[in-house]
Structure formats: structure tokens, C-alpha cells
């Protein structure tokens, strides 16, 4: 049965005339009410107008990369991976930074369509499930959106790294090097990928009866958290021989402070980080780390978007995992 403006009116309690103005983008109506109307229209299956500008057939599609950009090597490496993949896949990629507020993400997507963007990638780890649902309901299916962030229950189709397996690789490496008393500096628990990293590491330890988790510190992905972790480490009577940190920044914060206190790596402490940022090679000793290949992530994400652009389909919440590897360096390798 064809959905009408009257159906939307009954679902939202707005008048038909108000709904008509909201859909056309005309007249005086608050941004909050307009988003509510558009979300209801999309949910009911009303054919929303496509405001995007038509690009010449020979012009590469424009893809928006929406993230909450923070200074530092991680986001620079993430965006660099997409610029590399864009050249290979013959698309244009532009970076847009937003706050974690859902209103700014939804509003930006709508503006992108009017500017001629064909699709978007969202990497905002702070977003919650209900916020992804809002994006899903407010975005027409002819404008594909892919997430690159892990969440507990996927809403948008997602391409992301296998965080759990990466932590298993770190734990196995330390175990195979002969370390049995292990520690972990965790990432912030409100971020699902941080919990996956913790779970992968701890599950490996549980599966090996001669391995023991003797220290667990809750961090927040910052360099300062690594320094705070070392201060806590110093208070321990029984210290771990080897430590896995949920990202490279905390690993280097820990390492710098420990070296100032006279510790050496890996003789006194073995250390493995996560993300394999350029800093891992440019630090002494060089840091072992889980390699997340941002170019490969971007290629898989763009391939998914291009497929969706050719044949618009509803999101199914499908999660595609990009495998990770371990880069072994001085910080965790025992002398032979």
C-alpha cells in the first residue's frame, strides 16, 4: 500500500502541510521536528526526494569520511589509508569532523547529499546503538552509509578490524616468547572495540592453565594513561613479565616512564601495543604492535559502498572483519 503524507501525519502528530514543507525543505520548521518527520517518513517507506546533485558519468564519485577527528598519529594514519585506497579505487574522499552529538552527524549527511556526495563512511567510536538507528532511519537508501566502528549490536553495515583476534595474537606471541605472568592496560570500556581487545587477551590466558593475568589497569587510550599505568605497576609486589596495551599511545607512555625509572625492554618488561602506528618504528626500543592495515580497511569499505551505489539495498547490519597481524619488534622479543 502506498504511503501518504496523511500516514506520516498520523505517526508523528504533525499536520499534512507541516510534513509537506519539511520534506520539501521549505518554510519555518524547527530542525528537531524536521528530523523527526524525515525519520518517520523513511521508516514508513515514503519516497523521500533525492536532493543530491547528479555528477557527470565520467566523474569519480565523492565519498565523505565522517569522523570525530583528534590530533595524533592514529587519525592521521586512518585518513591516510582512505586517501591511498581512493586513488586505487578511483573515487574522491573528503574528511569531515563532527562532535559525537547525533544531530550533527544526521544534519551533515543531509548536507552532503545536496553537495553531490554519493556515499559516506562513519568512524565515530563514541556513537551508541540508538544513535546509529537514528542515522539509519533518517538516511534514504539511495545514499549508502557504512560504519567502520565496532558496536555491540550492528545497525549499519560495518567494515572494521578484528579487534578480538588482534588481542589473541598479542597474547599468543607473549606466551610463545615464554612469558607466563601477564598484564594488560585496557582501553575505555565504553568503546566496544576496547572491550573486544580485552576479551581476546584474557580469553587466551584462560585457555592456557600455566598463564596468569597478574595485573589489569583501566586506561583511556591516552599517553598520560600509560604513564599512570606505570605508577600503578610500581606499587605491585608481584609484577607481570609482559604487558599488552590496548593501543600504542598508552604503550609508549608506559615505556617512556619505565625507562626513566631504569627499566629495560624486554629484559625487565616485555611490551606489545596495538595499531602499529609510525611511532612504533621511531621509538627506542622499537615497539611490537598489532598491525591494523588502514589502506586495506579503506579498500574493503569503498568496495562495499560502490556495490551499494550500483544497487541500493536496505542495511542488514552485516559486519565484515578485516584481519590484523602482529609486527614483532625489540620490545617483546627475548634474546636468543
Written as tens digits, the pLDDT of the chain (336 aa) is 678 888 888 888 888 888 888 877 666 777 678 778 877 887 787 876 654 444 445 568 899 999 987 778 899 999 999 999 999 999 999 999 886 566 678 778 878 877 889 999 999 888 888 888 888 887 877 889 999 998 877 888 899 999 999 999 999 999 999 999 999 999 999 899 999 999 999 999 999 999 999 999 999 999 999 999 999 999 999 999 999 999 999 999 999 999 999 999 999 999 999 999 999 998 889 999 999 999 999 999 999 999 888 877 777 778 899 999 999 999 999 875
At 318 the pLDDT is 86
Handedness of CA 109, 114, 117, 118 (dihedral sign): positive
227, 276 Cβ separation under 8 angstroms: no
177, 333 Cβ separation under 8 angstroms: yes
Is the pTM higher than 0.75? The answer reads yes
All three cell numbers of 194, joined, read: 576496547
| CATH class name, domain 62-161+296-323 | alpha beta
Q: What angle do CA 213, 228, 178 make, to 5 degrees?
A: 30
44, 11 Cβ separation under 8 angstroms: yes
| CATH class name, domain 163-293 | alpha beta
How many CA atoms lie less than 13 Å away from 303 in the CB half-sphere? 10
Phi, psi of 95 (to 5 degrees): -95, 130
331, 255 Cβ separation under 8 angstroms: yes
Identify which of 287, 206, 197 has the alpha carbon closest to the alpha carbon of residue 249: 287
Nearest 10 degrees: Cα torsion 78, 81, 82, 83: 120
Count, in order, helices (H) and strands (E) of the chain: 11, 12
150, 313 Cβ separation under 8 angstroms: no
Identify which of 39, 44, 68 has the alpha carbon closest to the alpha carbon of residue 136: 39
Identify which of 141, 168, 212, 192 has the alpha carbon closest to the alpha carbon of residue 323: 168
At 89 the pLDDT is 92
Q: What angle do CA 300, 301, 306 make, to 5 degrees?
A: 100
Identify which of 166, 165, 128, 164 has the alpha carbon closest to the alpha carbon of residue 147: 128
Identify which of 232, 237, 261, 259 has the alpha carbon closest to the alpha carbon of residue 330: 259
Nearest 10 degrees: Cα torsion 166, 171, 174, 180: 170
* CA gap 285, 266 in Å, rounded: 9
* Ranges for all domains in the chain classified under CATH 3.40.50.2300: 62-161+296-323, 163-293
At 38 the pLDDT is 78
At 197 the pLDDT is 97
227, 254 Cβ separation under 8 angstroms: yes
| Kind of pairing between the strands at 325-327 and 288-291 | antiparallel
* CA gap 161, 188 in Å, rounded: 17
Identify which of 222, 133, 235, 144 has the alpha carbon closest to the alpha carbon of residue 185: 222
Amino acid at each position: 500500500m502506498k504511503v501518504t503524507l496523511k500516514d506520516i501525519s498520523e505517526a508523528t502528530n504533525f499536520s499534512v502541510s507541516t510534513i509537506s514543507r519539511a520534506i520539501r525543505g521549505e518554510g519555518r520548521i524547527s530542525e528537531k521536528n524536521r528530523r523527526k518527520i524525515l525519520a518517520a517518513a523513511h521508516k514508513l517507506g515514503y519516497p523521500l526526494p533525492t536532493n543530491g546533485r547528479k555528477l557527470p558519468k565520467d566523474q569519480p564519485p565523492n565519498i565523505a569520511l565522517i569522523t570525530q577527528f583528534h590530533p595524533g598519529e592514529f587519525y592521521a594514519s586512518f585518513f591516510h589509508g582512505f586517501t591511498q585506497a581512493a586513488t586505487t579505487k578511483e573515487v574522491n574522499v573528503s574528511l569531515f569532523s563532527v562532535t559525537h552529538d547525533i544531530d550533527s552527524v544526521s544534519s551533515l549527511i543531509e548536507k552532503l547529499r545536496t553537495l553531490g556526495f554519493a556515499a559516506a563512511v562513519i568512524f565515530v567510536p563514541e556513537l551508541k546503538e540508538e544513535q546509529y538507528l537514528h542515522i539509519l532511519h533518517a538516511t534514504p537508501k539511495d545514499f549508502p552509509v557504512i560504519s567502520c566502528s565496532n558496536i555491540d549490536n550492528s545497525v549499519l553495515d560495518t567494515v572494521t578490524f578484528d579487534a578480538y583476534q588482534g588481542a589473541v595474537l598479542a597474547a599468543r606471541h607473549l606466551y610463545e616468547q615464554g612469558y607466563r605472568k601477564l598484564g594488560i592496560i585496557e582501553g575505555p570500556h565504553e568503546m566496544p572495540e576496547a572491550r573486544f581487545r580485552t576479551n581476546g587477551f584474557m580469553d587466551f590466558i584462560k585457555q592456557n592453565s600455566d598463564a596468569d593475568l597478574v595485573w589489569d589497569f583501566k586506561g583511556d587510550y591516552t599517553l598520560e594513561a600509560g604513564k599512570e599505568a606505570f605508577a600503578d605497576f610500581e606499587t605491585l609486589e608481584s609484577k607481570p613479565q609482559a604487558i599488552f596495551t590496548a593501543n600504542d599511545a598508552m604503550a609508549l607512555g608506559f615505556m617512556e616512564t619505565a625507562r626513566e625509572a631504569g627499566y629495560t625492554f624486554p629484559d625487565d618488561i616485555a611490551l606489545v601495543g596495538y595499531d602499529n602506528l609510525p611511532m612504533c618504528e621511531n621509538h627506542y626500543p622499537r615497539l611490537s604492535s598489532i598491525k591494523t592495515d588502514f589502506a586495506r580497511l579503506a579498500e574493503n569499505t569503498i568496495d562495499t559502498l560502490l556495490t551499494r551505489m550500483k544497487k541500493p539495498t536496505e542495511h542488514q547490519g552485516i559486519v565484515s572483519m578485516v584481519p590484523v597481524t602482529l609486527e614483532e619488534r625489540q620490545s617483546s622479543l627475548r634474546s636468543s
